[in-house]
Structure formats: structure tokens, C-alpha cells
A and B are shown apart, each in its own frame.
Chain A
Amino acid sequence: MNALWGLLRKEGYHILRDRRTLAVLIFMPIVQVILFGYSIRTDVKDVRLVIVDPTPDATTLELRNRFRAAGTFRIIAVVPSSAELTPLFQTDTAQVAVEFQSRFGERLAVGEVAQVLVTTDATEPNSGSARQTYVTAVIQNYQQELRQGRGSVRIVPQVRSRFNPTRESTNLFVPGLMAMVLTIIAALMTALSLTREKETGTMETLLVSPLRPWQIIVGKVAPYLLIGFVSVIAVLVEAKVVFHVPIRGSVPLLLVEGTLFILVALSLGILISARTSSQRVAMMAAMIGTMLPTQMLSGFIFPLESMPRLLQWISNIIPATWFVLVARGIMLKGVGLAYLWPETLVLGGMALVLLVASTRSFKVRLE
């Protein structure tokens, strides 16, 4: 115990004395979340809207007002016929066109089907469909209000969205972003700290000593777990304060899960450093081994459901996949351990497997 305590204290000194690295370790996640949080967004703002209204009446004027009031749209033109649309789209003046059928209000009043055609520039399919959804949402709201007044009013089919009714993409991204930033930093910390000792030669002295591999590994992981915990708190505060992502579930549970996830990433870093001999190789392995899979395959940017089965299968072995589920579950859905125990179990299992594998592959002898 004396030996382990000595190691922990020594690692603490290393961390505290290297102020610059410590600052990087703590501030990097915060800065990355801000940068990514603002740049990875699928929200659309300032949508350039054209209204095609052959026979303006009270209903279409009211709908136009609704679009103006929504804040997302800017009506750049109101034209009488769809013939004028093509040049507007071609010059990128318009992004969405809302075309009312003639005698729109009249049709509604007598209970006929009133059609409205929403045309979107789909050059960028994602933002295109996002804009389309915004438009339909405005129309649907209006329809709903009308329905409460009179009986059946039919304008367009209905779409629902749950958990993220405001359709803020930050709500979706920030938990994933936290996962990515925390994995990278955590894996990097441990990957570098063990290989640094191999490079400076102090590792030889540790290996000749009676220290057991598990002691060396615990001595390396534990201090960084503390830094990781600080990062988790920082990133959560940031999510809440800067991006206004709600935390509907239990905050302590989220902290515990975050720390568990950090432990998995630290263990991954230790495994990498146990199997590499230079800081450079360890850094590359840690970056590539965490950043790419976390970005591509954790379901944080690209939905897993639309991936080929092989990639879906691979995504299961990526820790972030599970943490994203946990974080979204706690933050957005407000669920607790009763729903999240399988994910928690998987993360715990991963940490255990990685730590045991590191202890095993940690060579007491040099090669």
C-alpha cells in the first residue's frame, strides 16, 4: 500500500508541476465543446422563403404572418404564380417556396381540402429537409388552431417530434460532443504518461523494482481520473450554461456515468501505452483510435440506424456509443438507472476488460 501511495503521490507531482499540460488538459475539452458545439449544427436560420399566393385572402395573410413571427424565416418575395419560382431558386435567392392553392381560404371555409405545396432547394439534403420540416411545423400549428375553432380542416399530413420539440440540434449534439472530447483527452493523458516513462528510462527502474503491474497501472490511472472528473463537470456546466441543453434527469447519476466513461477511456489509453514504446506512436494511436470511431460510429453525428450492419456491429464496441445513449437519456429524456442499467453495465465491463488487458499486456520485462 505504501508503494501504491508513493506512486500516486509521484504522479500527482508530475501533473501539478507541468502547469502548461495541466492547463491544456482542463481547458481543451471546454474549448472544443464550444467550437464544435457552434460549428456542428443542422439548425437552419434565416430561411429565405417565397410565397406563391394567386388569390390572397385573410387565411393566407395570416399564414404569412405566422412565418414572419416564427423568427426562422425571411419572406423575400410574394409572387402570384409558380412560374416565377425557377429563377429565384436558380439564383439561390429562395430556399423554400410555399405555394397556396387558389381560393385557399374559401376552400377551407367550406370544408374542402386546401392544398399547399412546399418546395425546397434540396442541393444540401440535410438542411433542405430541416427547412421543410420548419415550414410544415408552422402550417400544422396554424391548422391545429383552426381545428379547435371549427370541425375538420385539412391542410397537410401530420409529423410529430418528441424529446426535442424545439428541434435544437445542440440538444442532440452536445452529449455526443462531450463523449468525443472526453474520450480523446482521457485516452491521450494515460497513453502519454506511461510511454513518457519508457522514453526517459525511468520505466526500467520501475520494472526492476518489486512493483506489480497492477500497481503501476492503478498509479497511472487514478490521478487522471480526478482530472477527468473535473473535465466532466466543466463540460456539463458548459452544456447547460452556454448551449442551454437541459439536464432533466439526476445530475449525480450523470456525474457518476461520466466518470465511469472517463475510466473506460483512461484504460484504453493505458492499454495503448502498454503496447507502444514511444510517445509519438502512442499519441497517434490514441487520437486515431478514439477520435475517428467516436465521430463516425457512435451515433453522435451520423445516425446508426442508417449504417450497414457491419458498422452497426462495430459501433457496439465503441465506448462513446453507450455513453451517448446514457447522456442523452439522462439529459434529454430524464430517465434514471432503471432504464440505463444495460448501458452502465456495458461501460463498466469495458473498463474492467481494458484494465485487465493492460495489466496482462504490460510487460514486466523489456522486449
Chain B
Amino acid sequence: MPDLAIQAKGLTRTFGGFTAVDHITFEVRAGEVFGFLGANGAGKTTAIRMLTGLLAPSGGDATVAGHDVRREGEAIKRDIGYMSQRFSLYDDLTVRENIQLYGGIYDLSGAEIRDRTQRMLARLGLEHVERQAVRAIPLGWKQKLALSVALLHQPKIVFLDEPTSGVDPITRRQFWELIYETAHGGTTVLVTTHYMDEAEYCDRISIMVAGRIDAMGTPAELKQQAGVESIDELFVRLARPTNGDTSQQATA
């Protein structure tokens, strides 16, 4: 594993005349929790889709786990986990069946699947619902389950696209504890969110506005540079430029 888990240079994606992601350049170090912040429609999901191989870039380059996103898409797939913005588990399958399905898809052996399923259910405290349809369990549990399923094959990097949207604050807190555990285990985490308070939990963050990265660094650095109390304040300043400063991002 190289020191850099993700490296993007001038990564761009256009849809017709609309530029969703506009020349973004950033690096994510191995083992880091890297936050992608931005309003809805800022280009976070598009950026993640390019990095996971779901979308072809219109311009620029990127490597994920040392593989080129343009040419080595298949190699990337084995090294990453992905939790999409939309719900990624099957509603009509039970908790256990969902875990088994993904274990199979990632070619784990039967023994590995049984072993990891057991440990995962124990860690999440979901043993009592393993035979229930996913449809029937609370959203917070589903999200934790989806994250664990994305980590089942022990990927080097995991991409989480707005994993906490629509989840209550307590469950969000628990979810972030899971993210920390993951990072401690050596897995790089790239997480997008539009909750600015979650930025404080990340090692480093980048703030996307209208397809561009407008600020990047540790939460403390960013607050200090801008002279603001919270990331929220910084974000509002970036997203809605007042007269004079940072006038280049006019229309979004």
C-alpha cells in the first residue's frame, strides 16, 4: 500500500454543458479519515463515483490504492468498499442473507463468511435480528449494517457517500465511532457529508462548492486561517460569498 491512498489531479466531470466536478486536486493519506464537505449538488457524489470507477472522468487523472481510475477499474474494485448514498442493502433479504450475499460477491470462502458474519453481528449487537428482513429494522441499524457490509472484504479504502443523512444525532455519533474503529484498523476512509459538525470528526477535510475544492486542511487549520469559530461558519462564507472576497464562484 502506497502512502497515498487516493491521489487526484485536475479531476473533472461534465454532463453536457454542466460541470459537476471542476478540476479537483487532492491527496488522501493511507489510514486517514478524509471528509468531503459540501452542499447538495456541490459535486461530492460525482467525485466519489469517478474514484470508485462508476463514472468515467471527463478530464484529469486519479489513482486509487495505486491503480489508475481510467485503466485499472477492475483492480480498484477489489481494493475498495463503497456505501452509496442510496440504500445499498436488499430490503427483502434478512440481515444474515445480505451479509452472505456480499461475502459471496467478493469471493470470500464459506468459512470466512460465517466467521466474519458472526463477529460483525456481535460487534453491532444485531444478533437478535439476523433473521429479520432488513426492511423491518430501524434506519440507524441499517446504516451501521451497510457500513459493515462494505467493510466485509477488508478493503484498503472505503468510500462512504452521505452515510449519516436522515439519521438521528445519537445514531450519527455511534456511526462515527464505527468510522474511527475502521480507520484504526488501517482502512482509509473517504466520507462525504453535508453536516458541518461532522467535519470536526475528520482528520482532514475539503470543502466543495459548485464542483471546486475551495478549502482543504485539518479542521483546526481551516478555522484558524479563516478566523472563524466553526466549520459551519467557514462553509457559509465560502458558499455565499459576500461583496468583494472570493468573487470567482459567482453562480452555482
B84: chain A residues within 8 A (beta carbon): 201, 204-205, 208
Task: Please give the distance in Å from A243's CB to the nearest CB on chain B.
Answer: 37
Q: Which residues does A use to contact B, with CB under 8 Å?
A: 2-3, 5-7, 9-10, 13-14, 17-18, 200-202, 204-211, 364-366
Q: State whether B86 touches A2 (Cβ < 8 A).
A: no
A9: chain B residues within 8 A (beta carbon): 101, 104
B217 at the interface (CB under 8 A from A): no
A202: chain B residues within 8 A (beta carbon): 87-90
Considering only residues 141-163 of chain B, those with a C-beta below 8 Å from chain A are none
Give Cα A207–Cα B56 distance, bound, in whole angstroms: 13
Give Cα A7–Cα B49 distance, bound, in whole angstroms: 23
A14: chain B residues within 8 A (beta carbon): 90, 92-93
Task: Please give the distance in Å from B188's CB to the nearest CB on chain A.
Answer: 16
B221 at the interface (CB under 8 A from A): no
Q: Which residues does B use to contact A, with CB under 8 Å?
A: 49, 52-56, 73-74, 77-78, 80, 82, 84-93, 97, 100-110, 133
A364: chain B residues within 8 A (beta carbon): 53, 73
Q: State whether A6 touches B56 (Cβ < 8 A).
A: no
Task: Please give the distance in Å from A354's CB to the nearest CB on chain B.
Answer: 25
Q: State whether A13 touches B97 (Cβ < 8 A).
A: yes
5 A-B pairs with CB atoms under 8 Å apart are: A10-B90, A10-B101, A13-B93, A201-B85, A204-B88
Give Cα A104–Cα B56 distance, bound, in whole angstroms: 88
Task: Please give the distance in Å from A61's CB to the nearest CB on chain B.
Answer: 73
Q: State whether A210 touches B54 (Cβ < 8 A).
A: no
- How would you classify the secondary structure of chain B's contact residues: helix, strand, loop or mixed? loop
B92: chain A residues within 8 A (beta carbon): 13-14, 17-18
Give Cα A207–Cα B82 distance, bound, in whole angstroms: 10
Contact for B88 among A5, A13, A205, A210, CB less than 8 A: A205
A206: chain B residues within 8 A (beta carbon): 105
Contact for A10 among B88, B97, B110, CB less than 8 A: B97
Task: Please give the distance in Å from B116's CB to the nearest CB on chain A.
Answer: 14
Contact for B107 among A201, A207, A210, CB less than 8 A: A210
A200: chain B residues within 8 A (beta carbon): 86-87, 91
A365: chain B residues within 8 A (beta carbon): 53-56
Task: Please give the distance in Å from A203's CB to the nearest CB on chain B.
Answer: 9
Nearest A-chain residue to B52, judged by Cβ: A208
Q: State whether B88 touches A3 (Cβ < 8 A).
A: no
Contact for B53 among A3, A10, A208, CB less than 8 A: A208
Nearest B-chain residue to A5, judged by Cβ: B104
Give Cα A5–Cα B108 distance, bound, in whole angstroms: 12
Nearest A-chain residue to B75, judged by Cβ: A210
Contact for A204 among B86, B91, B104, CB less than 8 A: B86
Contact for A2 among B80, B91, B109, CB less than 8 A: B109
Q: State whether B104 touches A209 (Cβ < 8 A).
A: no
Give Cα A225–Cα B93 distance, bound, in whole angstroms: 21
B89: chain A residues within 8 A (beta carbon): 202
Give Cα A201–Cα B86 distance, bound, in whole angstroms: 6
Other A-B contacts than A7-B105, A200-B86, A205-B82, 15 sampled, CB-CB below 8 A, are: A2-B109, A2-B110, A9-B101, A10-B93, A10-B97, A14-B92, A17-B133, A200-B91, A201-B86, A201-B88, A202-B90, A208-B53, A364-B73, A366-B49, A366-B54
Give Cα A9–Cα B99 distance, bound, in whole angstroms: 13
Give Cα A209–Cα B85 distance, bound, in whole angstroms: 16
A18: chain B residues within 8 A (beta carbon): 92
Give Cα A76–Cα B87 distance, bound, in whole angstroms: 72
Task: Please give the distance in Å from B102's CB to the nearest CB on chain A.
Answer: 8
Give Cα A206–Cα B150 distance, bound, in whole angstroms: 11
Contact for B101 among A6, A17, A201, A210, CB less than 8 A: A6
Contact for B104 among A6, A17, A201, CB less than 8 A: A6
Give Cα A206–Cα B107 distance, bound, in whole angstroms: 13
